[in-house]
Amino acid sequence: MPEIGEQQNRNQIWKQIQSAGLERGLGDQDSFDVAFHMMDWINDLKRLWAFYENPNSLEVGQIDELLYQFLSHAPHHLAAAKKLYCGIGVSDVFDIGAVETK
């Protein structure tokens, strides 16, 4: 559950991202979608950042769960946002087979 004032802040961030997309020349739907893809994983980011701020706060099993959840969720949204906002898809820049087709 968002803290008091947090939802208002998230709404403002969403609107600012949408505005940036429109300013960039994206259409309404693409600007909305970029905002969605940049915001949907915000709780994952908050949990990861909390761990970065206090690395001794979690046990190894909790870190494993945190990383798995973050890495299973956020990259998909970032890839979609990158394609919509930059017009460039993701590639396997490290040549490790990171990009898979369905």
The domain spans of the chain are: 6-86
Give every CB contact of residue 47 below 8 A, 6+ residues apart in sequence. Answer: 66, 69, 70
Going by pLDDT thresholds of 50, 70 and 90, the confidence category of residue 6 is confident
pLDDT in tens, 53-87: 999 999 999 999 999 999 999 999 999 999 999 99
pLDDT in tens, 13-54: 999 999 999 999 999 999 999 999 999 999 999 999 999 999
Q: What are phi and psi of 91, to 5 degrees?
A: -135, 170
Sign of the CA dihedral with 88 first, then 92, 98, and 99 last: positive
Query: What pLDDT does 82 receive?
Result: 98
